[in-house]
């Protein structure tokens, strides 16, 4: 019974954080860009930002809910790619391949998603492997995906990039000090 209670609280926490991030991202983006005329752009922005935020938060948050935020990052990344496949291209793989040929930043997004899926599938079965290295690489790929999409990098984006890179550098230095 206690386990189900914990799952319920985790789900409630994730839902609350998800809604909060929805409001924050839409508020910030509508202030900077203007109101979203295209709802698809709004969905892309929200799901992408939420995925990156949850992924980075999963690196710095304390252990008991670390996996919950990693799972939220995976769900947001799946939503992000689902919007791409289902809504934007209606599962037309020939159009998707054409889009992949013309927009190279999509490769980094898919690599990040694949690494997150591998960590999710193997995380419960292979405790001895250092899967957090794959998470760090997924963050780097997601950051490259994020930077290559932007046509103009404003100060807000530079701050986000700086914070994420600082967290990654701190994590790598801590790993190498441990040996």
CB atoms within 10 A of CB 68: 21
- pLDDT range class, residue 132, cuts 50, 70, 90: confident
- pTM of the full structure: 0.77
Mean pLDDT of 20-28: 64
What digits encode the pLDDT tens for the residues 84-120?
888 888 888 888 888 888 888 999 999 999 999 998 8
Number of domain units in the chain: 1
What domain range is 142 assigned to?
2-178
pLDDT of residue 24: 63
Checking if the pLDDT of 1 tops 50, the result is no
pLDDT of residue 154: 80
Q: What does the pLDDT read at residue 34? A: 47
**CA of 2: how far to CAs of 6, 8, 9, 11, in Å?**
6, 10, 11, 14
Closest CA to 171 of 58, 39, 13, 64: 58
Q: How far apart are CA 111 and CA 114, in angstroms?
A: 5
CB atoms within 10 A of CB 69: 22
Average pLDDT over residues 140-154: 87
Give the number of other CB atoms < 10 A from CB of residue 96. Answer: 16
Question: pLDDT for 42-76, tens place per residue?
Answer: 778 888 888 998 898 888 887 777 888 888 899 89
Percent share of the chain, pLDDT over 70: 75
């Amino acid at each position: 019974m206690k386990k189900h209670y914990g799952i319920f609280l985790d789900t409630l926490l994730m839902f609350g954080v998800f809604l909060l991030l929805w409001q924050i991202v839409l508020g910030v983006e509508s202030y900077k860009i203007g109101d979203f005329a295209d709802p698809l752009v709004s969905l892309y922005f929200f799901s992408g930002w939420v995925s990156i935020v949850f992924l980075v938060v999963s690196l710095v948050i304390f252990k008991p809910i670390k996996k919950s935020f990693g799972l939220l990052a995976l769900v947001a990344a799946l939503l992000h790619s689902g919007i791409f496949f289902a809504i934007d291209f209606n599962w037309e793989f020939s159009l998707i391949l054409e889009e992949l040929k013309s927009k190279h930043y999509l490769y980094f997004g898919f690599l990040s998603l694949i690494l997150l899926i591998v960590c999710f599938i193997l995380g419960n079965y292979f405790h001895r492997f250092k899967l957090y290295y794959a998470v760090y690489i997924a963050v780097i790929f997601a950051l490259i995906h994020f930077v290559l999409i932007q046509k103009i990098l404003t100060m807000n984006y530079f701050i986000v990039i700086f914070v994420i890179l600082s967290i990654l550098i701190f994590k790598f230095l801590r790993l190498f000090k441990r040996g």
